[in-house]
């Protein structure tokens, strides 16, 4: 049974640390698999489209993504190619609640990573999914979208 984990909120210093690679020998261990399910459950409950491990207090290179109706995990990602073309669009973040701003991201990216079974994967993507992955990889490098954003605005309820 997966559990909901606490989202770390800025300015917690955990969000500013560079994350360490996951030891590939550990991916199939029950404790790590349980962590992945907890991460996914937390992302879905919080209505997020992506969640990076630092956002739940773990400085390891793991991302949970929900896009195009399915969830998947990205472990130890490396962007191998980016498009020259960049696009500005609005972003928000579970770790920076109620703040939104325009961020410039590469329109297309190529990525190499490992899935939850420890298998090496390649992904070529564009548009919204490329934006989400770049946002989450920034988390793994200790970067928040507010570091890159312009026209920041706070929602008032």
Residues known to be catalytic = 136
Q: Which helix (H) or strand (E) holds 43?
A: helix 30-45
Distance CA 19, CA 40 (A): 19
Sign of CA dihedral 57, 35, 39, 130: positive
Closest CA to 56 of 118, 92, 4, 21: 4
The beta strand positions in 6-141, using DSSP E, are 50-52, 62-67, 70-82, 86-93, 96-106, 108-114, 120-126
Distance CA 117, CA 156 (A): 42
């Amino acid at each position: 049974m997966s559990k909901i984990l606490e989202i770390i909120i800025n300015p917690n210093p955990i969000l500013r640390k560079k994350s360490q690679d996951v030891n590939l020998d550990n991916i199939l261990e029950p404790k790590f698999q349980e962590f992945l399910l907890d991460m996914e459950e937390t992302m879905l409950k919080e209505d997020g489209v992506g969640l990076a491990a630092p956002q739940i207090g773990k400085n390891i290179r793991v991302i949970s993504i929900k896009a195009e109706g399915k969830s998947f995990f990205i472990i130890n990602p490396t962007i191998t190619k980016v498009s020259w073309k960049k696009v500005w669009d609005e972003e928000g973040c579970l770790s920076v609640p109620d703040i939104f701003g325009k961020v410039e991201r590469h329109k297309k990216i190529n990525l190499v990573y490992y899935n939850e079974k420890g298998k090496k994967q390649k992904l070529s993507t564009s548009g919204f999914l490329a934006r989400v992955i770049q946002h989450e990889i920034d988390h793994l490098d200790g970067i928040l979208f507010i570091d890159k954003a312009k026209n920041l605005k706070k929602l008032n309820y």
